[in-house]
Amino acid sequence: MSQVLETTQQTEHFDVVIVGAGLSGIGAGYHLQHKCPNKRFVILEGRDCIGGTWDLFRYPGIRSDSDMFTLGYSFKPWTAPKAIADGPSILKYVRETATENGIDKKIRFRHRVKQASWSTAEARWTVEAERSSGEGRAETAHFTCNFLFMCSGYYRYEDGYTPEFSGRDDFKGQIVHPQKWPAALDYTGKRVVVIGSGATAVTLVPEMAKLASHVTMLQRSPTYVVSRPAQDQLAIKLRKRLGDAIAYHMIRWRNVLFGMYFFQLSRRQPERVKKLILGGVRMALGADYDVMTHFNPRYNPWDQRLCLVPDGDLFKSIREKRASVVTSEIDRFTEKGIRLKDGSELEADIIVTATGLVLQVLGGMEVSVDGRKVDFAKTLNYKGMMYSDVPNIASAFGYTNASWTLKCDLTCEYVCRLLNYMDRHGYKSCVPHNVDPTVQEIPALDFTSGYVQRAVAKMPKQGSKRPWRLYQNYALDIVSLRWGKIDDGVMKYS
């Protein structure tokens, strides 16, 4: 473990410190550069490269579970053929954006932010980061800023979530978590069991089935799986006729509106949507397949995220007998594989634990205000980005029912509006403060997914009414964040 040494270097000051150089961090840099050109900013990135999620995950077939017309930036059209893009293509897109706009020169790599403390008297944050040399040495670097913009994502990078499996040490094969995929893992001709039924599992199974002797997706309970074309033919036609930019924004809005319609339909007529989804699975797998056992979840559509499979690749691998789905609970690991509670055993050479993420608030950073440690579980989330009684800090956090970037783009726009408003009026501090006693606290996320339920008690709450309520609605957020009042009576300035 690296020894942390105190540095004698002078503390550097910036108007804005952005934490994280992933998809949202690069977007934040772009917006600041173009909408707040007078602001001097830096991006602190704990790893040694740009990309965040799209560089961290290296498992076979890694791809988006949103179309790139909505996952892409509002200011940079996605022009690659595939609308459901693979990880390397998305990584290239993010890095291109950084290079084209000179944002890459604003990044300090190997700076892992550990804590931030706010001083009301000075109206500034002091940010402490562990700076690694890449040679096993580390030191503490200090930065001060007037505004702190967290773009560090929502899950812990160090480790994913793996349940305690009885007999794990008895298994003679290899156990892999997708968040730490070994570069040299050879699964050619091997028997693979993938534990899980979420986006990672449905991506891994058809991809590994191309080389493995057989891949089994072992799930405790099913997930809704929807097939969608990898390429958007209408987008391709519109690009030829109207150009990249116009076609991009037309398809972006079409996809946004359809997504909003489908989500609302799922909420109002869940049985109708469920029938529609299961009908698509039956068409893909045939009348003889046991759809009700393996693809019929216990919950309603959009109580958890739907899983997207491009061109039905998962269904194709099942039809061709290269992959299969087993719905059962695990009793224990054995020498040869996994024994299920029904007494049967799945033999495996490799077990992949696609069992989820560990959510954390603000990248796990410790935050204090005037010496008082902030417990974010006791705060209210303001407009989905700021926190009650915590000054001059915002987080980029995407939608649960739509593309991550849609909300992050709007968040960046709002932060720039806020900073410019403060400059015009000579304000140094802004802090959301609730004075309405009728506002009730409710969980910030209403998903039933395991990774959400494991962390929801530690997360900020949302309120029962605006501006503390998260509506997960892009159209409403455009009105609120792009055109709504900055001085709304809730945000206090000084």
Strand partners, 179: none
Element (H or E) spanning 345, and its range? strand 345-347
Please tell me the predicted confidence (pLDDT) of residue 2. Answer: 42
CATH number, domain 168-353: 3.50.50.60
Please say whether the beta carbons of 225 and 306 come within 8 A. Answer: yes
Q: For the chain, where do the domains classified as CATH 3.50.50.60 start and end? A: 3-158+360-493, 168-353
Residue type, 446: D
Look at domain 3-158+360-493 and name its CATH class.
alpha beta
Please say whether the beta carbons of 179 and 57 come within 8 A. Answer: yes
Q: What angle do CA 489, 442, 386 make, to 5 degrees?
A: 45
pLDDT digits (tens, 9 = 90+) for 209-230: 999 999 999 999 999 999 999 9
Please tell me the predicted confidence (pLDDT) of residue 136. Answer: 66
Please tell me the predicted confidence (pLDDT) of residue 441. Answer: 86
How far does CA 120 lie from the centroid of its chain?
32
Strand partners, 226: 308
**Residues of the chain whose pLDDT is less than 50?**
1-5, 8
What is the C-alpha to C-alpha distance for residues 351 and 265, in angstroms, rounded to an integer? Answer: 38
What is the C-alpha to C-alpha distance for residues 14 and 32, in angstroms, rounded to an integer? Answer: 13
Please tell me the predicted confidence (pLDDT) of residue 188. Answer: 97
Element (H or E) spanning 262, and its range? helix 244-268
pLDDT digits (tens, 9 = 90+) for 38-77: 999 999 999 999 999 999 999 999 999 899 999 999 999 9
Q: What angle do CA 257, 261, 264 make, to 5 degrees?
A: 140
Strands (E), 171-295: 174-176, 191-195, 214-219, 225-228
